[in-house]
A and B are shown apart, each in its own frame.
Chain A
Amino acid sequence: MTRTWKALQPYTLVTPQTLVFLLFLVFPILMILIVSFWDFNGYAMTPAFTLQNYIDIFTSQVSLKTYLNTFKYVILVWFFCLAIAFPVSYFLAFHVKNQKWQIILFLLCTVPFWTSNIIRMISWVPFLGKEGLVNQLLLGLNLVQEPVQWLLFSDFAVVLGMVHLYNFFMIGPIFNSLMRIDRNLITAAEDMGASGFQILKEVILPLASSGIAIGSIFVVTLVMGEFVTVRLMGGGQSASVGKLIATQIGSLQYPLAAANAVILLAVTLILVVGILRVVDIRKEL
């Protein structure tokens, strides 16, 4: 009896998690998949099996343009997040020797998360707007004669907003992986006569790759589904796949929105698999 209980124990332990996953992740995604084949008659969706939603998406110029635009955001945001996060984490991990200060400075990086997403974005308006602080400064210094328009409601603003929002998701994992690097390895490299750059390239970067990969997964998946930042910072003029889906849901076109969601999920998964192909996270953890 106790033996069988022992054998069942691990299964009992995973049951709650499995149920939660099935109920709140697998089941809804299956529903979306099913609905994406349904028909829509103007005011209600009707069970059917039609490929029309997918045909519409794959034959439309809009989808291609919107995906390209979304990829543009993904690449830019990912690049700038990495460009900011790596030096920040490096500084925290290797230059701040005092552990107390390390924790304080790390917590400082989370400050943007102390207010809601929407408020963080709206507060850019008085800063970047036509009558905003930056423009007043530029006008005051006589650097420009007319207020600069592209600071707000532009691709620049969208990327800025998202880098601001998601940078921490990159800093966290990279900082974590840098902290776990055995300091003796660096000392050894120094003893062998490696220059600072060589140490960075040959020792630190390879060992930080898992952190970079995890951070990249966070940033890429978040940006792929993003629509609030795109709407508010882009002034409604920029397109992303998330925003496309939101507009379709708003107009009750559930099956079309579901089909778009399925494709978005597939594309995002491909990107994640791609990242995992490059870096074996499991091995590094």
Chain B
Amino acid sequence: MAKISRRQIIRTGLAAGAAFAATRCASSSTTSSAPGTPGNPSASPEVNMGKSKDVTLRLIGTGVSQINDIRDKAIADLGFKFDMRALSTEENNQIAITQPGQYDIFDGEYFSLPLVVPSGNLKPVDTKKIRDFDKIAPFFTTGKFDGAKIEQAQGTSPIKVMYVTGEDSKEFSPTPTDWATLIPFQYNADTLGYRPDLTGKKIESWAELFDPAFKGKTAILDIPSIGIMDAAMVAEAAGLMKFVDKGNMTKEEIDQITDILKQKKQEGQFRAFWKTFDESVNLMTSGEVVLQSMWSPAVTAVKSKGLNCVYGPMKEGYRAWGGGLGLSKNLSGIQLDAAYEYINWILDGWVGAFLGRQGYYSAIPENARKFMKPEEWDFWYEGKPAATDMIDPFGKKLEPKGALRDGGSFKQRMGDVVVWNSTMKEQKYLLQKWNEFIAS
């Protein structure tokens, strides 16, 4: 080091100082001030004339809705561009909460909202700008559904998190307001799937998952917040325990249900736990598992391999989930207008019909009906025998002529929902106990 001259040191020091100062200046100019202050003037109202052609909306969502056909149709109909990212439910929430700058539209599930909304990253949707808002299935907008079971459903029922109290609010409103968190567009009633050729009988109760006859042949989800719901349905149906609210368990209830699960695991009741859609399909098609918690497209995937798989109605009812579109707080000006246009387009029916042919329900069934063939409508929504072969949106045959939809009509299936996917107050504790169960 002694060989470095004094001059050298001074020069290096100066250079370093200059570089440091330069980066400081550069970074200070990019720090953002609050919108509306002189440092960051808020966007003034703009006249939107053909400018939406240049708009690109960035969507994040789960793979269910990030389908290329839908994107292409949206580009053709609306004229602006889309940048879609298909994520897992967990990643979707992570980005929604921690990276608000990365998306314009959040396509997420209602049960994620108790986590996402308090982060303040969503801009409440002005329901007055949603053309057909009044036509949306009533259990979303008012919590009513002809007095069916769903009105009393436990868990993060959409109506509990549908509205916030005001335009800038992060607080849920128990009664309808003009400010919605998500605009629903797809949802379904989930149940157990099984292979009738391997179970040898019709499965009619969630309790069958713990039936010793299926020892080593059942599976549940390894996503704590959904897996625990299915486990709760099973334990309650089997008469092993009771819950005050399955969607918001107390610590004692969580202790009890994990103890039951641990015991069943020790007895060898489960063959596996699955985390992704493909895993559940593989377990079922390979015959490793004959009865398991499942999602409807997974049942379709098993069927398309020529195997019989039933998504049977259980006498205790269904566990439902619902997804919708929310707006990022960063949206403004023509971007925001474009986002509203997109939501209105989603509700218009083409998408509803597209997803309907896979077995999902549309937020506005009557709009979807306009884009479905009468025999498709009768099969998927009315629970009538298929008048022709049922073809999915990608051209694959799903059901032969004469087949019936498992569980019947829209009213029967959605009306019979007893619990929604949930985020509980004791989420952290649940996670700890779930890990304990996996490690046991």
Contacts and interface: CB of A to CB of B under 8 A. Distances in A.
Interface of A: 3-4, 6-8, 40, 42-44, 56, 60-62, 65-66, 69, 122, 125-126, 129-132, 149, 152-153, 231-232, 235-239, 243-244, 247-253, 256
A236 B435 contact: no
A122 B93 contact: no
A42 B427 contact: yes
Q: Which 6 A-B pairs have the closest CB atoms?
A: A236-B273, A235-B272, A239-B439, A250-B90, A43-B115, A7-B3
A60 B432 contact: yes
Interface in B181-237: 216, 219, 222-225
Contacts of B244: none
B265 interface: yes
B439 A251 contact: no
Nearest to B433: A62
A8 B438 contact: no
Contact of A236 (B3, B114, B275): B275
Contact of A231 (B271, B275, B427, B434): B275
A35 to B, nearest CB: 12
Interface stretch (B38-46, B281-289, B300-308): B281-289
A283 to B, nearest CB: 30
Given A43-B116, A126-B286, A236-B222, 8 more contacts: A7-B3, A43-B115, A60-B432, A130-B288, A152-B288, A239-B438, A239-B439, A244-B439
Contacts, number: 110
Given A236-B275, A236-B438, A244-B439, A251 B3 contact: no
Given A44-B119, A235-B272, A236-B275, A65 B3 contact: no
Contact of A130 (B282, B287, B434): B287
A65 B271 contact: no
Given A7-B4, A236-B273, A250-B90, A43 B97 contact: yes
B29 interface: no
A125 B431 CA distance: 29
Given A44-B98, A236-B222, A248-B431, A61 B286 contact: no
A153 B271 contact: yes
Contacts of B273: 235-237
Nearest to B282: A125
Contact of A62 (B97, B118, B222, B435): B435
Contacts of B438: 236-239, 243, 247
Contacts of B420: none
B354 interface: no
B30 interface: no
24 contacts: A4-B8, A6-B3, A7-B3, A42-B115, A42-B428, A44-B98, A66-B435, A125-B286, A130-B288, A149-B216, A149-B268, A152-B288, A153-B272, A237-B270, A237-B273, A244-B435, A244-B439, A248-B435, A249-B90, A250-B90, A252-B93, A252-B115, A253-B428, A256-B428
